[in-house]
Amino acid sequence: MFYFVNYYVLNIRVIIVQKCGTIVIIVCEEETIGIETLPTG
């Protein structure tokens, strides 16, 4: 199973990728990239 979401919030690009039961949130604001992984259990 592979889940991918790419949307914009207030000109902030948010990419959510879910693979192997792990959610990876990638926030792209200008040149700043933040990656956060959240285990779904």
Q: How far is CA 25 from CA 4, 21, in A?
A: 10, 13
- List, as one string, the DSSP characters of 6-31: EEEETTEEEEEEEETTEEEEEEEETT
Domains in the chain: boundaries: 2-39
Task: For 11-39, write each residue's pLDDT tens digit.
Answer: 566 666 666 666 666 665 555 455 565 56
The reported pLDDT for the residue numbered 27 is 63
Model confidence at 4: pLDDT above 50: yes
Q: How far is CA 20 from CA 6, 13, 16, in A?
A: 18, 23, 13
The reported pLDDT for the residue numbered 1 is 46
Q: What is the pTM of this model?
A: 0.27
The reported pLDDT for the residue numbered 28 is 59
Strand (E) or helix (H) holding 38: strand 32-39
The reported pLDDT for the residue numbered 23 is 66
